[in-house]
Amino acid sequence: MDSRLEALESYARDNSIPVLLKDSAEFLEKLVASLKPKNILEIGTAIGYSGSIMLLASPEAKLTTIDKNTSSLAVAKQNFEKLGVYDRVKIIEGDATEVIKSLEGEFDFIFLDGPKAQYLAQLPYLEKLLLSGGSLLADNVLFKGWVKSGVYPKHKHRTTILRLREFLKEASLRLDCTLYEIGDGLLLAKKINKK
């Protein structure tokens, strides 16, 4: 991985900003490098770490990234500029669940890493935005192992866990899915060409 990305990761860890776990970041980098998408949609910008990984892995790609945290987006913009990729980025400030309802364009790769409890609500809109043959990668789908445990959660994360379980079920009905037990769980979902 690019040393500049490692510096970004260190900054995030030092400032308690949640970013991709190392093995998840490596998976994302290899996946994007192999797929070479042209038009990427990212839900959850944070400080631009995962967005930068994708843009550096696919030099022809353009990124549309959505987040509602104004201060994080300001840091992300600086990071994109430092890495020389800002000219390929469109930052949208707002609630992604609302933004994607009216978002225009088609994307051959979508990286889903926003609020986990919203994945299920966002899925139908993301499926529409995803080009046939395109891929969606969702992070944190196993949520500390609780999603796969089958146990009914009895704490503050109940809604998120139950919705993630439903998201995995619904995604597998709509798309061609592979679940990877990497990091906190990654779901790779492909939109298969209809014959």
List pLDDT tens digits, range 83-119. Answer: 999 999 999 999 999 999 999 989 999 999 999 999 9
d(CA 84, CA 91): 15
Judged by average pLDDT, the poorest of 6-15, 25-34, 133-142, 156-165 is 6-15
Per-residue pLDDT averaged across 68-81, rounded?
94
**Tell me: domain 3-190, CATH 3.40.50.150, correct?**
yes
If one counts every other C-beta atom within 10 angstroms of the C-beta of residue 82, the result is 14
Under the banding of pLDDT at 50, 70 and 90, the label for residue 195 is very low
List pLDDT tens digits, range 116-165. Answer: 999 999 999 999 999 999 999 999 999 988 898 877 777 788 899 999 99
Per-residue pLDDT, 90 = 97
Per-residue pLDDT, 4 = 79
Q: Could you tell me what percentage of the chain is helix, strand and coil, using 3-state DSSP and rounding each to the nearest 5?
A: 50, 20, 30
Per-residue pLDDT, 27 = 97
Share of the chain above pLDDT 90, in %: 76
- This prediction has a pTM of 0.94
Per-residue pLDDT, 194 = 53
Helix H or strand E encompassing 109: strand 107-112
Please, what is the average pLDDT of the chain? Answer: 92
Per-residue pLDDT averaged across 58-67, rounded?
97
For helices 49-57 and 3-14, the axis angle rounded to 10 degrees is 170
Domain boundaries defined on the chain: 3-190
d(CA 141, CA 161): 9
